[in-house]
Structure 1
Amino acid sequence: MGLVPEPHSGWTFLTNHARVMVAIADNPRARIRDIAAYCRLTERAVQRIITDLETDGYLSRTRNGRSNAYRIQPDTPLRHPAEEGLSVATLLSVLAHRTAHRTAHPERVTADPTHV
């Protein structure tokens, strides 16, 4: 999955749903356990978020043996009226910088979760 960010307390700009989408975009075959560790959420919370995202058409899941593969629907519009006209692809393209930043600045990251 990559490196896990430092723990954080207080409010943040991104929702847990956005964090899960970024984690899935980073690794569509990630296990729920790995997504949960990356996002600093419980596995149960990640399962609920994935169900929400599937129900509303933001991603689909296919079963491959004992694991899942997720497919993000990039053209799905964001839900809030303030983001009218923006798609999931737009959001993920902005957040893609984060993956590149983690790779370029590993000193800011402290843990390495179990890889898929």
Structure 2
Amino acid sequence: MDLIKFFKFGLVGFSGLLIDFSITWFCKEKLLLNKYLSNSFGFLFGVVNNYFLNKYFTFHNTDNHLATQFLSFLIISIIGFLLNTSFLYLLQKNTKINFYVCKAIVTIIVFVWNFTANSLYTFKL
């Protein structure tokens, strides 16, 4: 594994995390949307950010098949999202841990999935 790429992936992920949490918070607390719907909106904004930053910053990828590559990234992200939402639901249902703490825990778990899958498939290390 390339530790520099892993670190850069983490930095990009952190920027996406800030976007994700900000959008989730805004939708849940200000727009009073359902917490899982809010989580979905946060996820979508974070994915777009992460794709472009990872393509150009992390992996220095020059593949011109942008739509195909984004679709791959999106599919991997959707799988990550399903893992994220499922784990978030299970933690919330079975513990008394704060929603945002649960979200942070789940984010760390799904980070490993996202890096591995995108490294091996979307951006082929």
> TM above 0.5, one fold?
no
Q: Per residue, is there more helix in 1 or in 2?
A: 2
Q: Which has the higher contact order (CA 8 A, sep 6+)?
A: 1
